[in-house]
Structure 1
Amino acid sequence: MPERIQLRRTKGWRKPEGAIVVSRPSRWGNPFRIYHGHSLIGPRWGQARGTWGHINANACIYGYVTTSGHMDIQAAVDQFRLLMNVRARDESDRLREWLAPLRGHDLACWCPLDQPCHGDVLLEIANFSTESEVTA
């Protein structure tokens, strides 16, 4: 079963053969991120839906969602899952095509393995076989 790998910059470490990098700025990178623990940075919703590749940080909105409370990485992962659900609903064939290279491969990102990561969402949906399972 494919799993998430944490990328490292330590001497001698190598990405496992066959693993695919899904961090920013790959085409599968999460366009949503947390800024100073209180703001979610991301593209305008229409841009996020229409872009299937990397979205440059300069094209994103600071304060996409802002709160006086603490916002953790789970909020960015939740937005990514929502984007995938919308894509599954509106463009399921294109989503399957976009996910196809990931199917059956380990996915590598910089997120610590004990923290939420959009890579977990990609692992989950890339390895499901039907649209109904993607949107569950």
Structure 2
Amino acid sequence: MTGPVGRQKQRYRGSRLPVGTIVVDRSSRRGNPFRVEEILGNGEAADEPEARAIAVRRYADWLDGTGPQRLPVTKSRTVDRDWINAHMGELIGHDLACTCPVDGLPCHRDVLLARAALLALEQGQAPGVGAARHAWLRTAVEQ
């Protein structure tokens, strides 16, 4: 049995995601306000993989309370840390889709998947998952 996975949301007309998949890209209330392009443009990273890792780490830190509660995600939208954390339970058991490719490099959807899985374990919603998996998930969330 496998758990929820990350998926890539395609940007072309007629593309469909599997039923039950939750979109977490910047068009949603769970988008990552930390942009790879800005990190590269500011010279904070040497390449895209490093910039993606920085953006994901900043997202995780922001969810943990670093920085302002609300951040702009597009010119007309903001994301709210308290709302995301309060609604984490809605992600339990669902695949998550972002426009980032599913290529082994970090994406903020990985942070959301890990936190939703940990929440499921804490709430007893993940039957059949042993202590070793629980420890792995806790480590993944804390990284």
Instruction: Give the alignment's TM-score, normalised by structure 2.
Output: 0.60
Candidates 85, 88, 91, aligned match of 2:64: 85
Unaligned runs of 5+ in 2: 67-81, 124-137
Question: Offset at 1:38?
Answer: 3.4
In structure 2, what is the Cα distance between the partners aligned to 1:94 and 1:25? Answer: 15
Q: Residue by residue, what CA displacement relative to the aligned partner does 1:32-89 show, whole Å, maximum 9, x if unpaired? A: 11235133xxxxxxxxxxxxxxxxxxxxxxxxxx5385551111001001112238xx
Of 23, 26, 34, the residue aligned with 1:24 is: 26
The structure that is strand-richer by fraction is 1
2:41 to 38, 57, 64: 38
Runs of 4+ displaced beyond 6 Å? none
Q: Give me the CA root mean square deviation.
A: 3.0
1:5-39 Cα deviation digits (max 9, x unpaired): 10113565311100000000211101111235133
Q: Distance in 2 between matches of 1:102 and 1:68?
A: 31
Sequence identity percentage: 38
- State the match for 1:124 in structure 2: 114
Counterpart Cα distance in 2 of 1:25 and 1:94: 15
SS in 1 for 2:118: coil
Name the structure 2 match of 1:98.
Answer: 87
Count the aligned residue pairs: 105
**What residue ranges of structure 1 are gaps of 5+ in the alignment?**
40-65, 88-92
For residue 2 of structure 1, report the CA deviation from its aligned partner. 0.2
TM-score by length of 1: 0.63
SS at 1:72's partner residue?
helix
